[in-house]
Amino acid sequence: METIRLDKCLAMNFGCSRREAGILIRKGRVTVNGNFVRDAALKVSPDDAVCCDDSDLQVVTKASPRYFMLNKPVGCVSATDDSEYPTVMSCLRDEAGGLFPVGRLDLDTEGLIFITDDGAWAHRVTAPSRKCPKVYEAVLEQPLDPALKEIFAKGVLLRGEKTPTLPAELEILEPEKVRLTIHEGRYHQVKRMFASQGNHVVALRRIAIGGIFLPGDLAPGDYRPLTPEEIALF
Ligand code: URA
């Protein structure tokens, strides 16, 4: 019978990271077949009764399709393979192959990116027709002109393009810090939108995709499985 590690079983049930699952296990909050266990690497199968704090957990061994959120760190590329830089896949070394990043973030952008092996789901996240909102926080070189709110709400023409950007919502957090929600994914879109207005993005972080927010406790380089509810949003 197929088995999985106990920490992975908890992570899949709770949508937490394996590290967090390991903490629960080591704290003695998990039983397997009625016995308290403290070994995160213990293999469990669907025949085992796994409980955490009196909740029964499901042991699902069929790995595919899989869905994760990763807090992409600066300095790695959103690809499965690269000759020059580490890829986002190096953050998911514990997971088997077949996974790929959904959409792209620049090398120097950090934040939320999904990783899956479900091509149809990935397409639903990225398809331009769905206009999935993506929220970014940007630090700018120069203080922001509040008139930009209206300019971005109307759409701006980016250099070399024929159609203006879709209406985007700009929230000014500090004179040089903003939150921008866009509904498409053009090449370097956020940086180019500010560049079109004579400003420059010095740091960029994606904090949400289609209603899923980057959790505050997911550090750059960390990942966790998406919950069934999160997966069903797309
Ligand atoms: N827009 C950008 O300019 N860069 C990103 O990484 C994502 C959106």
Listing DSSP states for 181-192 in one string gives EESS--TTHHHH
Q: Whose CA is nearest to atom 3 of ligand 1?
A: 188
Q: Which atom of ligand 1 is nearest to the CA of 104?
A: 6
Residue 115 CA to ligand 1 centre (angstroms): 17
**Report field, pTM of the whole predicted structure over 0.85:** no
Four-way CATH pick for 133-209: 3.30.2310.20, 2.40.37.10, 3.30.70.1560, 2.60.120.10: 3.30.70.1560
- The residue whose CB lies within 8 Å of the most ligand 1 atoms, and thus the one to mutate among 188, 200, 202, is 188
- Fold observed for domain 67-127+212-231: Alpha-Beta Plaits (3.30.70)
Residues 6+ apart with CB under 8 A from 229: none
Q: State which residues of the chain have pLDDT below 50.
A: none
Q: How many CB atoms lie within 10 A of CB 154?
A: 11
4-56 and 133-209 agree in CATH topology: no
Ligand 1, residues at Cβ distance < 6 Å: 105-106, 109, 188-191, 204
Could you state, in order of their start, the residue ranges of all structural domains in the chain?
4-56, 67-127+212-231, 133-209
Q: How many CB atoms lie within 10 A of CB 170?
A: 20
- Active-site residue, selected from the candidate residues 106, 117, 118, 217: 106
Helix axes 6-14, 18-26, angle to 10 degrees: 110
Residue 4 CA to ligand 1 centre (angstroms): 37
Residue 104: the pLDDT is: 93
How many angstroms separate the CA atoms of 19 and 67, rounded?
A: 17
Residue 108 CA to ligand 1 centre (angstroms): 9
Q: Is 222 a catalytic residue?
A: no
Four-way CATH pick for 4-56: 3.40.50.1970, 2.160.20.70, 3.30.450.90, 3.10.290.10: 3.10.290.10
Burial code of 109-126, b = ≥16 C-beta within 10 A, e = fewer? bbbbbbbbbbeebbebbb
Q: Which atom of ligand 1 is nearest to the CA of 182?
A: 8
- The residue whose CB lies within 8 Å of the most ligand 1 atoms, and thus the one to mutate among 139, 165, 189, 196, is 189
The residue count of the chain comes to: 234
